[in-house]
Chain A
Amino acid sequence: MTVNWELVWSSLGPILMGAVTGTIPVALASFGLGLVLALLVALMRLSRNVVLSSIARVYISVIRGTPLLVQLFVIFYGLPSVGITISPWPSAIIAFSLNVGGYAAEVIRAAILSVPKGQWEAGHTIGMSRRQALVRIILPQAARVSVPPLSNTFISLIKDTSLASLILVTELFRQAQQVAAFSQEFMLLYLEAAVIYWVICLVLAGGQSALEKRLDRYVAH
């Protein structure tokens, strides 16, 4: 099998364009929104209020118990039948945010619980309210613990955004598919897409290491 390097080179432009204008912004927006949602859900889950914690429990269970592709299709292809039509980009971001929210909520909950109870008490003894202790004492320590698992979530998300090609979002994989269909070079284009996903994830893993190093500065080695 000879490699059509000319095609690799000429397809690189559209595929990278798909990454830069589709994959990466969808992933960033979804991860950001998803984290905010996850923090909220984690706090609800930890709340002594039974209604709040039950809502959080059900939400997490539904998100983790159903395929992401099904969630995406319900939002984009399902909702119009009840009169709610959302265009591809927002549909993708909503679906991915909800998905990250469910998974990351459990990570954040575990990270908050990993901070010793004495840290809450030390916060209280210097006069802090629960909210102050949470924001200034507990969450910074929980953040350190949650970087590795949240990086997993982010890396998974980058690859999962390829599902958005199925709801017409012009992203990395959709671009590769189009070139492949046109040139009939399926193996080549799909491998090329795979390599580009891998490179993006390598960069992210590097970012994870740097962040871990930074947050580990106050921990004995």
Chain B
Amino acid sequence: MSPTESALPDDGALLAVRGLRKAFGQQEVLKSIDLTVRRGEVVTLIGPSGSGKTTVLRSLNGLEIPDAGVVEFAGGLSVDFSAPVSKKQLAAVRDRSAMVFQHYNLFPHKTTLENVIEGPVQVQKKPKAQAVQEARELLARVGLADKENSYPFELSGGQQQRVGIVRALALRPQLLLFDEPTSALDPELVGDVLTVIKELADEGWTMVVVTHELAFAREVADEVIFMEGGVVVERGHPDTVLRDPREERTRQFVNRLLNPF
């Protein structure tokens, strides 16, 4: 794709997605999704389960291969999924972002520190001493300095998810992807993790967050996207989408989350 036909709308954009489609068998889970994320921006995806929001996120990290659509990152990386995609292209897309999973997916046979340095040392070929030093700094920032030799099973859910976040940060990706990062946590542990994510947003990390935490979205997001049935129903500033949505479906969804009974 030449610069003139670039899908990236302006210099501030880090990521542009155009016409993303994905079907699992007969089930069409994404029906042409567009998405733009600017540097330093926080975009949250909300919507009922099965709406396709997690599939969008996973497509950005190469964990799903879309059937069609263009994913373009600033700096000249553009992948058109309508044609077969090479391993190299997929790896290039994957390198731009790092995922934080709903169920943490820490490596159970590795300690906290080993979990964090695995990517930098084994994949990015950083010197181990440097990777360890950087890992320790990041772990200290999320309050886990004393847990570096613990195995995941020795940590609470909130601690495990903070390790998951640090593991993603240690890769120094351009984009952080969060897939319902607090959905598996006990309610009293949700706050700790959201606080960490908010601090990262304040520091200027670019992120896409799939979440059901509307208060978090309202406070942290620059843009909220409401998806349902594989399409974007409504998108815009959180004050609009979450407080005074234009679409009736958005209103119903938001009200149900705010007033479950």
Contact = CB atoms under 8 A, between A and B. Distances in A.
Contact of B98 (A125, A129, A140): A125
A121 B105 CA distance: 8
Contacts of A132: 122-123
Given A127-B171, A217-B151, A218-B151, A122 B105 contact: yes
Interface in A65-103: none
> Number of contact residues on B: which range applies?
20 to 34
Interface in A107-138: 116, 118-119, 121-122, 124-129, 132, 136-137
Is chain A's interface secondary structure helix, strand, loop, or mixed overall?
A: helix
Given A121-B63, A219-B108, A136 B118 contact: yes
A220 to B, nearest CB: 4
Interface residues of A, number: 21
A78 B15 CA distance: 66
Nearest to B110: A218
Contacts of B106: 122
Contacts of B91: 127, 129
A141 interface: yes
A116 B95 CA distance: 23
Contacts of B63: 121, 124-125
Nearest to B177: A125
A118 B103 contact: yes
Interface string B67-111: 000000000000000000001000100110011010101111110
A217 B151 CA distance: 9
A119 B118 contact: no
Interface string B55-74: 00000011100000000000
Closest 5 CB pairs of A and B: A126-B119, A127-B123, A122-B105, A118-B105, A220-B153
